[in-house]
Amino acid sequence: MNIQDIDIKEMLDKAKDTLGFEPQETEAGIYIPSKSSLKLAAPNKTNYDHSEYDNPYTGDKKILMVCTEQQYMTMENGNKFDTGNHPVEMMVPLLHFKKAGFEVDIFTPTGESVKVEQWAMPEDDVDVKQIYAEYESKLNKPKSIADFVKNDMANSDDYAAIFIPGGHGAMLGLPDDKNLGKLLRWSYNKDLFTLVICHGPAALLSANLDSSDSSNKANEADKNGNAKRDFIFKGYEIVAFPTTMDKQMPKIGYLPGTLPWYFGEKLEDLGVTITNKLATGHTHQDRKLISGDGPLAANDFGKMSAEALLKALS
């Protein structure tokens, strides 16, 4: 590299910093998205539409929300991204679930507090901030997936759906949590709904871990009569945050480096089809798997999920 190259690099770096395209370093080696990317991707108000439901649910089935308890994702370059669950993808569906009459229990793998991308909180959205305040104590002290699987799951009849909000934090811990895998297979076998949005589908990968449960209705028998494992969501279509967009995020400073892996590629390897190429507010239902592609989909995703639950439980 010659001096001219260095000068050009310095000029580009200064330009990116001036325009707000550089990730913001909050602590040594820890970053949140750039100012410009936050303006594009994290507006101060959501598209929540205050839908009313004519016949809200009055039964005792609840929604089990699975959240991440990990906050920092290490990029390929060693930088750490301050992440967690996205507040819009969590709270806007919760607003719909509340209007539709459903209570929500919050779980993390071990009962550690839910991590939330606070930098994405829509500060001018009164509805989101109100529902966040209502759930804050549960977010700080959630239930444990490990405890539920060990002690209560086999005999539980409390839930109608499992809901997994997005945010890059959904890629941390959840995809390789064997207890979550057991929970998802239990839910599938009980014909419950599975609701996932944005990066939330990454958690579905856990259902492919240690899934030798002979009661799994996705298992097939080989010619010797032995159980043969198959991914429970093989053959399903979903929408999700696209890999192609995640690969572009470092260029606008949303991410402080290249992601260590891409959940979409792994799901596709297991037979899941991701139908969208952009995250522009798509939603989709395939059997009892309902999905949304990102924050712009949070309102329609919440409404679609609430309406499907009400119809199924009526």
User: In whole angstroms, what is the distance from residue 119 CA to residue 265 CA?
Assistant: 27
Element (H, E) at 5: helix 3-19
Other C-beta atoms within 10 Å of 313: how many? 15
> Partners of 143 in the beta sheet?
107
DSSP 8-class letter at 23: P
* Identified catalytic residue from 198, 249, 272, 309: 198
User: In whole angstroms, what is the distance from residue 302 CA to residue 144 CA?
Assistant: 24
Burial class (CB in 10 A: 0-12, 13-18, 19+), 178: middle
Shortest CA distance to 37 belongs to which of 244, 246, 249?
249
User: In whole angstroms, what is the distance from residue 224 CA to residue 243 CA?
Assistant: 39
SS3 state of residue 24 = strand
In Å, how far are 57, 62, 156, 203 from 308, measured between CA atoms?
A: 12, 14, 22, 22
User: In whole angstroms, what is the distance from residue 155 CA to residue 165 CA?
Assistant: 26
Active site residue 198: yes
DSSP 8-class letter at 150: I
User: In whole angstroms, what is the distance from residue 163 CA to residue 94 CA?
Assistant: 10
User: Active-site residues: which are they?
Assistant: 198
